[in-house]
Chains A and B, each alone.
Chain A
Amino acid sequence: MKTLFNSGHTACAGCGQSMAARLVIDAAGSNTIVCNNTGCLEVFSTKFPESSWGVPFMHSLFENCAAVASGVESALKYLGKADTVNVIAQAGDGGTADIGLQALSGMLERGHNILYVCYDNEAYMNTGIQRSGLTPFDTNTTTSPIGVNSTGNIRPKKPMPEIANAHGIPYVATASCAFPLDIQRKVKKAISIKGPKYMQIHVPCPLGWRHESSQTIAVAKLAVETGLYPLIEYENGVLAAKRQITPKPVEEYLKAQGRFKHLLKNPEEIKKIQEIADNNIKKYGLKVETQQAA
């Protein structure tokens, strides 16, 4: 299959991010420039002297891809090519929600014609599974370890799609590598819209989440089906679409992964996580039965 993200890179078996990155760039097409933060993706796809990328690709630093992409897009405007070349800025969850949030906010606020893609594997995987602002509540990571006084990460995920949406940008979407065609549809839609766009794609990390590498898609699908990872689209600030589900209990998602193993004998904590899912289901109207006709 012809792709703009070639195989032969060094991602782990079952890496959700490598799948999603390929889906994104193939949907965006060859007329695209990619600016990438430091992280797994840049490390496993560009080890000198090889590169997986069939498009112009630049990695600068951990937190500045949104600003670097702003510079690239400004240069394209100066050259009169802004309407013919797509610019994608992309990063992991730490590079987006933590260290890169300021640069991202600046990019969104300035109105650059850039698609920003956050590959959300819910921790700093490249450095060895440290918690980030997008690590879920009660996750066991190397810096939010379980112990006598700890059931894991103390805070829920930072609401990045809402934060992006609050900038008044034309398009915000979440996606999951369990739904490849949905990713590609959203990327194509995003690049057809002028202005800043934010996409956040749920990408399991078998190493960090501790599931079999063959289970990446199944685990990602459960996150959506339990309501823990709502698939939504905001257009011009309004919730325009959502993937409807018949919600499964969160235990089904939790028990599939080593990072939540400590919770399985702790109904109190599972209840709290079920509440997070229930709130998502209510907030976005995810449940099939409660849907009004579209």
Chain B
Amino acid sequence: MKEFLEGSMAVAKVVQLCKPGVISAYPITPQTHIVEELAQIVADGHLNAQFVNVESEHSAASVVLGAEAAGVRSYTATSSQGLLLMAEVVFNIAGMRLPVVMTTAVRAISAPINIWNDHQDAVSLRDAGWIQLHAEDIQEAVDLHLIAYKLGENKSIMLPVMVCMDGFLLTHGVETVNIPSQEEVDKFLPPYKAPYKLDVENPMTLGPLVDPESYMEARFALNETHKEALQLIPKITADFAKIFGRTYNGLIEGYQLKDAERVIVAMGSVCGTIKEVIDELRKKGKKIGLLKVTSLRPFPANEIYEALKNTPKVAVVDRALSVGSFAPLAAEIKASFFGKTKKPKVISSFILGLGGRDITKDSIKEILRLMTSKERQGEFIDLKQELLKENYENAV
């Protein structure tokens, strides 16, 4: 059913349809609307779930870890500092092979403290072992939650999945969204049957001490599973399309790629702005395109290679830093072409939209202007030069 909804409301509704038995969260802007709505849904008796109000994100993640270990589908959501506080548990959940689904309302990291959107929180946890999917708009955010449960709970995967949606831009934005029916969701996502769990009828030890004799194999297996997920994601999105009628690749998506001479690579809601610029400039004969990365983990390097191997000029938009090194997404895009004979002549890297700095169509056009034969390395767009001249020695 089509509804005009705030992103957080839409996500709460789709989580309700996925029927988690345990929900636990701690408030942090801009995640709060999602969990407030779920608390109301539970309070109104529309969802049979235990809603556990905890004293920190560390405990929110630990509660859903425990619930999943007891064999019950569960859900949490966080953002920014909250994600960093639960980081230890986030790694643990992946290592314990528990298919938690979490929404990250993607937000900047302190200091300076800033509640607005960039990708630093989620990107900083890219090595935690979770599958990490980034939504472009509210509809995709809704649909990725369904895909997340289906994927994470697959017996050959058994991994947690983080659905990232840009804080405020998507969590508080309002769009027309297609919310599926319970029948459709039930058809796509059957009740969760855990292959292993804490069960007094069949006692087992979870989370044992593993010494150098076996640790490597456990981590190897985790890494291999991400390779399997690369194969499985397009199959799941194909199943999704059959039931819900919306088509996603789930790994990457191209827009006007076919004859594009210049392609911008990006994640999240900025892709919408880039598409608008493409539409505008295509009318003037400019051959430009977009490659959207939906799945940051597993990273679809081969798919990216195939999509861009004949593109002359590529620019990567990063909304996060790997301070002291290459921008995180740009580094991985470049690595996808390492040692290949076919590759773009130029892969430039741009940083923009940190801490909620607006990314306008002009920001994108500036990138296009800078996509020359000269390779740009981590160049900041929309920097205020006048602020950079300030010196603490002059501070009163």
| B190 on the A face (CB < 8 A) | no
Kindly identify, within residues 242 to 294 of chain A, every residue whose CB is under 8 Å from any CB belonging to chain B. Answer: none
Interface string of B279-293 (1 = CB under 8 A from A): 000000000000000
**Cβ–Cβ < 8 Å partners of A74 in chain B:** 22, 24, 50, 52, 63, 66-67, 72
CB pair B66–A35 under 8 Å, yes or no, is: yes
**Cβ–Cβ < 8 Å partners of B49 in chain A:** 78
Kindly identify, within residues 43 to 76 of chain A, every residue whose CB is under 8 Å from any CB belonging to chain B. Answer: 43, 46-49, 51, 53-61, 63-64, 66-76
> Provided the pairs A71-B62, A77-B50 are in contact, do residues A46 and B92 lie with their beta carbons within 8 angstroms?
no
**Cβ–Cβ < 8 Å partners of B394 in chain A:** none
**Cβ–Cβ < 8 Å partners of A70 in chain B:** 52, 54, 59, 62-63, 66
**Cβ–Cβ < 8 Å partners of A67 in chain B:** 54, 58-59, 62-63, 66
Interface size grouping (class) on chain B: 35 or more
**Cβ–Cβ < 8 Å partners of A85 in chain B:** 200
Interface string of B33-63 (1 = CB under 8 A from A): 0000000000000001110111110110011
Q: Which of the residues B64, B69, B200 comes within 8 Å of A31, measured between beta carbons? A: B200
CB pair A47–B209 under 8 Å, yes or no, is: yes
Q: Tell me the minimal C-beta distance from B221 to chain A in angstroms.
A: 13
| B203 on the A face (CB < 8 A) | yes
Kindly report which residue of chain B lies nearest to residue A70, judged by CB atoms.
B63
Q: Which of A104-112, A136-144, A196-204, A206-214 contacts B (4 or more CB under 8 A)?
A: A104-112
**Cβ–Cβ < 8 Å partners of B265 in chain A:** none
Kindly report which residue of chain A lies nearest to residue B207, judged by CB atoms.
A59
Q: Which of the residues B48, B63, B206, B210 comes within 8 Å of A57, measured between beta carbons? A: B206
Kindly identify, within residues 5 to 55 of chain A, every residue whose CB is under 8 Å from any CB belonging to chain B. Answer: 30-33, 35, 42-43, 46-49, 51, 53-55
Besides A71-B62, A75-B22, 11 other CB < 8 A contacts? A35-B66, A53-B203, A54-B203, A60-B65, A68-B62, A74-B66, A74-B67, A78-B22, A78-B67, A79-B72, A103-B55
CB pair B50–A78 under 8 Å, yes or no, is: yes
Interface string of A207-237 (1 = CB under 8 A from B): 0000000000000000000000000000000
> Provided the pairs A47-B208, A58-B198 are in contact, do residues A71 and B55 lie with their beta carbons within 8 angstroms?
no
**Cβ–Cβ < 8 Å partners of A47 in chain B:** 208-209, 211
CB pair A110–B67 under 8 Å, yes or no, is: no
**Interface residue ranges, B against A (CB under 8 Å):** 21-22, 24, 48-50, 52-56, 58-59, 62-72, 74, 88-89, 92, 96, 198-200, 202-211, 214
Kindly report which residue of chain B lies nearest to residue A107, judged by CB atoms.
B59
CB pair B206–A58 under 8 Å, yes or no, is: yes
CB pair A64–B69 under 8 Å, yes or no, is: no
CB pair B58–A103 under 8 Å, yes or no, is: yes
Give me the 6 closest cross-chain CB pairs, A-B, nearest first.
A71-B66, A67-B62, A75-B70, A106-B55, A67-B59, A78-B21
**Cβ–Cβ < 8 Å partners of B65 in chain A:** 60, 64, 68, 71
7 contacts between A and B (CB under 8 A): A33-B70, A46-B208, A56-B198, A64-B65, A79-B70, A106-B59, A110-B54
CB pair A53–B70 under 8 Å, yes or no, is: no
Q: Which of the residues A46, A59, A60, A75 comes within 8 Å of B72, measured between beta carbons? A: A75
Kindly report which residue of chain B lies nearest to residue A105, judged by CB atoms.
B55
CB pair B207–A60 under 8 Å, yes or no, is: yes
> Provided the pairs A74-B22, A75-B22 are in contact, do residues A58 and B54 lie with their beta carbons within 8 angstroms?
no
| A151 on the B face (CB < 8 A) | no
| A102 on the B face (CB < 8 A) | yes
**Cβ–Cβ < 8 Å partners of B208 in chain A:** 46-49, 51, 59
> Provided the pairs A56-B198, A70-B59 are in contact, do residues A75 and B71 lie with their beta carbons within 8 angstroms?
yes
CA distance A103 to B52 in the complex (A): 13
Q: Tell me the minimal C-beta distance from A6 to chain B in angstroms.
A: 11
CB pair A75–B209 under 8 Å, yes or no, is: no
CB pair A58–B59 under 8 Å, yes or no, is: no
**Cβ–Cβ < 8 Å partners of A57 in chain B:** 198, 203-206
Q: Tell me the minimal C-beta distance from B213 to chain A in angstroms.
A: 8
